[in-house]
Chains A and B, each alone.
Chain A
């Protein structure tokens, strides 16, 4: 599947007329496709909306409805990696703040990909927990003591 997904992503950016090259990296629970090249900004501008769109389409095309469903992440010029690291730092900071003050902290609205990063970071901090609230696609994450 790795080769198929990477080839698909390459075909899409080629068809968009972008000078970008896709390479695959295996993750413990899925696959990360890296895009590098001079046209990276076309995908990363406006908070990476085109990158997000490409990831949605690729996930949708290669969906596996099973228990062993693998995650698919598409990154461009380390845009996600940097943003993810920032979000993780923020989540750890908020978790610390909740713990020291006793008051619940809010983050968001965040999309599912971002919420996962926050929940994982909070789970590393003892004595605090996190939950998503809201009915929309993007939800707020509440970090509280207990």
Chain B
């Protein structure tokens, strides 16, 4: 199972105003690598983007990377209070 949590972290830190608050956890769920991205509450909007476009782009990169390594990936995005 390829771990692409560095990809999620690199992108999220570049987008965030509080890069130090970025945390990525990784697990396995129904045959896919499952990532959970936590960002500061005020960065949630930046990371998700207008009409969810930035979140969609990040999910797409993650899927492309997982596919290249022969796997599948899922991503949940939450703020550090657990809201998503």
Contact = CB atoms under 8 A, between A and B. Distances in A.
Contacts, number: 66
Contact of A15 (B7, B60, B67, B68): B7
Main secondary structure of the interface of B (DSSP, over half): helix
A12 B64 contact: no
Contacts of A15: 4, 6-7, 9-10, 65
Contacts of A54: 57, 61
B10 A17 contact: no
Interface residues of B, number: 24
B58 interface: yes
Interface string A53-64: 110110011100
Interface stretch (A42-50, A98-106, A115-123, A138-146): A42-50
Interface in A28-44: 39, 42-43
Contacts of B7: 12, 15-16
B15 interface: yes
Interface of A: 8, 11-12, 15-18, 39, 42-43, 49-50, 52-54, 56-57, 60-62, 137
